[in-house]
Amino acid sequence: MSNCSSSPSAAIKSSIPRLPVNPREHKVPIAIAVGTTLLGSGVLPLTLYFTLTYLTSWPLSTILSIPASIFGVVSLLSLITRTVLLAKPSSTCRPLGSRTARTLDYYGWNFLVGFLGISAVITIGLSVPSLPSMRFVGMSLPLLMVQICAQLVLFVPLRRWGVRAPFRLSSVQKGEELLPAVYVIAEDVVAVDAGQGDVFRAAWKARYEASPLFGELLARLDVLWGISGLVVASALFGVVWGVGNQEVGWAVGESPITNVEEGEGKLTFRAL
C-alpha cells in the first residue's frame, strides 16, 4: 500500500521560506576570506615584527606602526566601500524600510565605532613613550571581541524584559520588538559585504517569522558566542598585560588563532 501522506516534519519544512544563499556554493571565496584574515591580521604582523626587529635597528614604535597601518588602511577601505554601497542612490542593500542614503546599518555603525576606538588606542600606545606600546597594540583584537560580544550578551536580558528598540537597528524600526543581535549582524554582513542585497534581508526576516526554532537558534547563539567571546577576550587581556615579556603578550593578541576566533563567522558571511 502506498503512503500518500507526507510526514508532519516534512510539511513544516516545506512551509519554511528558504534563504537565497547556499554556503556550499561559495567554498572558494570563504577559504580566501579566512586565509586573508589569517595572513593580514595574524601571520603578516608577526612576520613583519620579528623580521624587522632582528634585521633592522628601527625604533619599536616604527616597527609596530607598519603592520598597524596596513591593517588600518585595509579596514578603512572596507568601511568606505560598504558605506558607498549603502549610500549610493541605486543601492539595493539598505535595511528594510529605509529610503534615505543617510541610513547606515547596525553593523556599519559598529564598524565605525570599533575602527575609531581601536585606532585611538593604537595611536596612544605608539605615540606616548612612557606607555608599554606593545601591550596597547596587542589589545586591538580583544577590544574588538569585547565590543561585539558584549552586545550579544546585552541583547539577552533586554529581550527577556521586553525592551523595544530605542532606535533603528538595521531592519528593526524604532519601537519594534528587539531581535537577537546575531540576527541583525548576520543580516547586515550578508546583505552588504556578501552582496546579497535586500532580497536576502526580506528572506531572512520571512524565515525568522516563520520558524520559531530558527529564532530560538539565533537567541542561543547570542548567549553562546557572546559569553565565549568575552571569556576568550578576558583571557587575552590577562596574557597581554599579565606576562612579564610584553613581546609574548603582543604575539598572543595578534596570533592567527585569535583572529580566526574573532572573525571566521563574519568573514564566512562576507564571502557568500
Alpha helical stretches, state H, the chain: 8-15, 27-38, 44-55, 60-87, 106-127, 133-137, 140-160, 181-188, 197-210, 212-242, 246-253, 256-270
Number of neighbouring beta carbons within 10 Å of residue 59: 12
Instruction: Please tell me the distance from the alpha carbon of residue 227 to that of residue 221, in angstroms, as a whole number.
Output: 10
Q: At what angle do helices 212-242 and 197-210 cross, to 10 degrees?
A: 110
Provide the pLDDT for residue 134: 85
Each residue's pLDDT, cut to its tens digit, for the chain (272 residues) gives: 444 444 445 544 557 888 887 777 777 777 777 777 677 667 788 888 889 988 998 988 888 888 888 888 888 888 899 999 998 888 889 999 887 766 679 999 999 999 999 899 988 888 888 777 788 888 888 898 999 999 999 999 999 999 999 999 999 999 999 999 999 999 999 999 888 899 999 999 999 999 999 999 999 999 999 999 999 999 999 999 998 888 888 888 776 544 544 444 444 444 44
181: Cα within 13 Å, side-chain hemisphere:
20
Instruction: Please tell me the distance from the alpha carbon of residue 26 to that of residue 211, in angstroms, as a whole number.
Output: 25
Provide the pLDDT for residue 19: 84
Provide the pLDDT for residue 43: 78
Provide the pLDDT for residue 267: 44
Coil, strand or helix: which one is 97? Answer: coil
> How far, in Å, are 110, 115, 162 from residue 149 at the CA level?
12, 16, 21
Provide the pLDDT for residue 127: 86
Grid cell locating 10:
516534512
